Amino acid sequence: MNLAAGKYWDVSWNPIQGCTPVSEGCHNCWARAVVNRFHGVDFARVGFHPTRLAKPYTLRTSRVIFACDLTDWCHPEVRPSRVDAMLRVMLETPQHRYLLLTKRPERMSAQLYEPSADAPRRLLQPGQVVPNLALGITAENHARLLERWSVFAAPAALRWLSLEPLLGPIDGELARHMLGSFDWVVVGAESLGGRPGRVCQLEWIEDLVERCNLVETPVFVKQAHQGGLVRVPIIRGRQRLALPKFFTDGGEQ
């Protein structure tokens, strides 16, 4: 990983690719731009690429692997059998740590545990935790965080939150409780090919850092708008690049 560039993972892994918008945070979707530019396929078509499943087996040293950063693994068109195929690889490669994010946490338990016509016998038992997998949600403002946090019920080795792109403040009476329920928070302003995107006030990020500190939740500030797009900015005197023990221990917190 390259922390100096705001990169908290080593490699990406995308056996599933494609997605459709679900909220305002999707308007300038980074993944859509990457797929359209480099893969030449319609990003709205959710596809499975089984030849990519083996990638983690080929990595000789322990890595932090961002899984499915070119899709939402809880998208309705992602079949549970394909989720099981990825989970099997994760369980068979305990030397790696995996990160997953979704904007659709209401579907998380179904994707992990519930039998379906596609997968009548699931790999995981209800409530079973994959010890080297961090499950998280992503939100762009307070309303979306409240909406997704309230249905994020699946257990995980590490529960994390990505507030990128941050498009509004996270405040109000519930903010402290919500932030304190996560093991790790990542914050970032919107980037459009290295240029600042939609407005992200520095005060929103500073307030988030303070709130996370109050509830002792590690916070990683990836980028901010400070006259331009600044990677790993100085926030109240120093860079904020906290990583939870999950990253160094390679397992449950």
Residue 252's pLDDT is 58
Judge whether 98 and 131 are in contact, CB under 8 Å: no
Residue 251's pLDDT is 56
Residue 44's pLDDT is 93
Sorted by sequence, the CB contacts under 8 Å of residue 33 that are 6+ apart come out as 193
Q: Where are the domains of the chain?
A: 3-249
Residue 1's pLDDT is 84
Give the Cβ contact number of residue 131 at 10 Å. Answer: 17
Judge whether 11 and 65 are in contact, CB under 8 Å: yes
Residue 41's pLDDT is 86
Read off the pTM: 0.95
Judge whether 8 and 220 are in contact, CB under 8 Å: yes
* Residue entry with tokens 């990638």: 55
Residues of the chain with pLDDT under 50: none
